Amino acid sequence: MLDINFIRENQKLVEKSAKSKGYEVDIKGLLLLDESRRDLLASIENLRRDQNKISQSVKGKPEKSDLEKSKAIKTQLESLEAKLKELLPEYERLMLLVPNVATKDTPIGKDEADNVEIKKVGKVKKFSFKPLDHLELGTALNLIDNERAVKIGGTRSYILKNELVILEQAVLRFALDIIKKEGFEVMNVPVLVKSDSLVGSGFFPFGKEDIYQVNEDDLYLVGTSEASLVCYHSNETLTENELPRLLSGITTCFRKEVGTYGKDTRGIIRVHQFNKVEQVVLCTSKDSDKMFNFILGIAERIVKGLELPYRILQMCTGDMGAKNAKQVDIEVWFPAQNKYRETHSCSYLTDYQARRANIKYRDQDGNKHYVHTLNNTGIATPRVLAAVLENHQNKDGSITIPKALQPYTGFKIIKK
């Protein structure tokens, strides 16, 4: 969440930024509640101060007048504290609904049409034949079975088979090894998390409709290990020497894909269940730009290692999450679709998550500050597998394995 002092001092900026992201937030109502909250807190503090003065002035048996004053103050305190208790839930609800403020270099726009291309990397391969899509390739090579998967798990379900299972593990391990060498602590974190973790990491209340609730026990399936990794240090105060804190999780992830009915239903592009290696960074504000480029660079190395042409886009305000201050996506080329598709998302969140999850650090002078958080995909399958199949297909229908993955797979080609 944002600092209420920042909201108070920058009301128009906060309202404008929220609107540019497509959110209508009652900032005026929030500030009125905040004013009432501060008035109540000040009155409570004054009464407690008066109560302490009476207690300190009494020596021996208290006078009747002192007892009457003390009783009157207690009655007032109970009344004001009840009012504060009644006010706080609505104040906190509105605070959680305020989106992060976009950085100055973020393009203003409504949707993906307003995103800005930063660069393209790698040559798009010109095939001497009409390239097949990943589902045609996967079906012909007995690597993908969507028909039986849907019978078992419903729409957007898939089954990977044979060499593609090994290739998936190779891709995940390849990414994990690169990330680990860069100093990340790798973890297999919970995929079942409490609502507190989703609020703390900024996925609630904004994205609640896309999260699977497991049962009545306040447990949810994560859509990314970012939620678990960010909240690993919730309610903790680190030392400045511990920063930057580099955390990586490898987990299965789950998303309802609400709002995508009829979109990307073919193949394994948009699914409910997938595997992902995630990067999360906790750092000081002065290091946030450097760390943003650091994790983006790692993702680029992984994509280059898979020998996939890609481009980098800076997302506009209307096409990035409520919690993001800045977002840059990597999109990989899909030959059969003749288009780039998103595979990585690099996000800078300022101290927005840290305020929710209460993650601080103590500087060299002993002062406490909220950390800044960033995250980026390491790799996510099966979408990236679809890109590998399509980009590395051969005329005879076989698939050549990228050289960087061959030590992990133990084979160089997939063929009938």
Active site members? 255, 270, 342, 345, 383
Cα 170 from Cα 407, distance rounded (Å): 9
In this structure, what are the phi and psi dihedrals at residue 196, rounded to the nearest 5 degrees?
-55, -40
Contact 147, 138 (CB under 8 A): no
CA distances from 65 to 46, 59, 85, 228, 315 (A): 19, 14, 30, 57, 67
Terminal C-alpha separation, the chain = 54
Asked whether the CA dihedral 349, 355, 359, 364 is positive or negative, the reply is positive
Cα 174 from Cα 178, distance rounded (Å): 6
Radius of gyration of the chain (CA): 26
Ramachandran assignment for 347, one of left (phi > 0), alpha (psi -120 to 50 degrees), beta (any other): beta
139-157 exposure pattern, b = at least 16 Cβ within 10 A, e = fewer? bebebbbbeebeeeeeebb
Q: Quickly tell me which residue has 């939620």 as its tokens.
A: 227
Q: What is the 3-state secondary structure (H, E, C) of 17-68?
A: HHHHCCCCCCHHHHHHHHHHHHHHHHHHHHHHHHHHHHHHHCCCCCCHHHHH
98 closest CA partner among 225, 196, 4: 4
Cα 340 from Cα 386, distance rounded (Å): 12
Contacts of 291 (CB under 8 A, 6+ apart): 244, 281, 283, 374
Q: Which tokens in the block code for residue 157?
A: 């379900």
Cα dihedral 294/299/303/309 (nearest 10): -70
Crossing angle of the two packed helices 27-57 and 11-20, in degrees rounded to 10: 140
Cα 377 from Cα 327, distance rounded (Å): 12
Q: Which tokens in the block code for residue 63?
A: 């006078």
In angstroms, how far apart are the furthest CA atoms of the chain? 101
